[in-house]
Amino acid sequence: MTDTKRIITKKCIKHLSNLFPYFFDKRVHIIFDACEKFHFYHLEPIVKEILKDPRYKISIIRWPGIKPDDIIPNVNYMSFKKFWHDWFNLFDVLITTEIERCPTWFINDISICMFHGAGPKMSYIKNKEINNYNVLFSVGPTTQKVLENFVDPTVVVEKIGLPITDKLLSNKSALPHTIKLAPSKPTILYAPSWSKYPELISMNNQILDELASLNNYNVIIRPHPLLLQPKNCNGFDWNTKINQIKSKGVQISYSIDHSVYELMPYIDILLGDASSVTYEYLIFDKPIITYMKEGILKSFDAEEFIAPLYAATYQLDSPEQLESVLFSIKNEPEEISKARTELKNATLFNIGSATEVAVKTIEKYAFD
């Protein structure tokens, strides 16, 4: 009943705004939502482009731990609670990176779900909650195929891509000041992902020790933010081990300091797993090593990803093999580079122009 009253209230306000436009802000009001800062990175390129257009009013939902440096000028910020229980603000478009963040009172406006990454961990696109949105921004052909077979006919699936990758191709941002690299050494980035099932987390003491022993490489470790929160790792605290290898000269990249995308242009080899980072790094056509627990792709209902991923990457079966795998990369077969290109094209739409496509698509719905 409360939502019904809220819908009626908003309809009345909208009707009044049409009758007396001079007393209301008639710009198209878009609210952007991401539950974490590292999710918002995917929205940021779109926000900054739309801010250039005076026809729009922009609001952003605050994520936990937001800092003054995160605030974008000329944008209204509000809490998720305030948005969820809002009565009097008129929102024309909701764009979120999350699945279950569309209020039931938003039914008469445009709601867009934009996924925060690519690859098998995006299997949550099979969550029935995505049918609560009007529009879904598809990352690439593989995602598109899944969505078209899963979503309701009333939901529109748009071919967008990942806007976050556009600037990786257009310019090389400055290396974050917290990361120091020796120019004479190649750089390897280890980007382990998180799982709510501890037995599926690939990061372990052995792989961290092997990385710490690589004296001929710059080594950067970029743990998923939730890996550093014991409450999300069955009580296990990885910070002790991370601090230990940090004292040995390993560079640690924290999500609160900078995005992983600021590091990517400086990386020569990526060591990853089923993380979206593994797939996003494909745009550089550089070597990728996969190290992950058996069964992780099955847990995401994504076993169809195995063959193309393994064809495009080097597999590390145990940490002790790391140096030998790194040695084999020096004489990379041409077919691996070809497989990377094929996987990249199967993973991403509009490489290099996804932001432009997203903005034009938003405009289409905002002014129809």
The per-residue pLDDT for range 81-115, each reduced to its tens digit, is: 999 888 888 889 999 999 888 888 776 789 999 98
Q: What is the pTM of this model?
A: 0.90
Checking if the pLDDT of 122 tops 70, the result is no
The answer to whether 18-162+350-366 and 169-347 have equal CATH topology is: yes
Closest CA to 278 of 166, 338, 159, 192: 192
Q: How confident is the model at residue 79 (pLDDT cuts 50, 70, 90)?
A: very high
Pairwise CA distance, residues 208 & 210, whole Å = 5
- Cβ–Cβ < 8 Å for 134, 37: no
Side-chain half-sphere exposure of 74, counting CA atoms within 13 A: 10
**Tens-place pLDDT, residues 26-41:** 899 999 999 989 899 9
Cβ-count burial 343-353 (b if 16+ within 10 Å, e if not): bbebbbbbbee
Domain residue extents for the chain = 18-162+350-366, 169-347
Checking if the pLDDT of 123 tops 90, the result is no
For the chain, what is the mean pLDDT?
89
Angle made by CA atoms 164, 29, 62, in degrees to the nearest 5: 55
Fold annotation for 18-162+350-366: Rossmann fold (3.40.50)
Checking if the pLDDT of 188 tops 90, the result is yes
Q: In this structure, how many other beta carbons lie within 10 angstroms of the beta carbon of residue 184?
A: 7
The residue written with tokens 């140096």 in the block is 323
Closest CA to 249 of 290, 208, 289: 208
Pairwise CA distance, residues 185 & 100, whole Å = 44
Pairwise CA distance, residues 290 & 78, whole Å = 39
Cα separations in angstroms, 98 against 40, 127, 146, 366:
10, 11, 18, 20
Q: What is the pLDDT of residue 362?
A: 97
Q: What is the pLDDT of residue 136?
A: 94
Closest CA to 195 of 187, 207, 203: 203
3 state DSSP class of 269: strand
**Tens-place pLDDT, residues 43-68:** 999 999 999 999 999 999 999 999 99
The CB-based long-range contact list for 174-183 (8 Å cut-off, 24+ gap) reads 174/262, 175/262, 175/263, 175/266, 176/253, 176/257, 176/258, 176/262, 176/263, 178/253, 178/254, 178/257, 178/258, 179/220, 179/251, 179/253, 179/263, 179/266, 180/251, 181/218, 181/251, 181/266, 182/218
Q: What is the pLDDT of residue 33?
A: 96
Q: What is the pLDDT of residue 73?
A: 94
> From the CA atom positions of the chain, what is the Rg in Å?
22
Domain covering 169-347 in this structure, CATH number: 3.40.50.2000
- Sequence-ordered list of residues with C-beta below 8 angstroms from that of 345, at least 6 positions apart, any chain: 141, 351
DSSP state of 151: S
**Tens-place pLDDT, residues 146-173:** 888 889 999 999 999 999 999 887 767 7
Q: What is the pLDDT of residue 29?
A: 94
Q: What is the pLDDT of residue 211?
A: 97
- Cβ–Cβ < 8 Å for 151, 131: yes
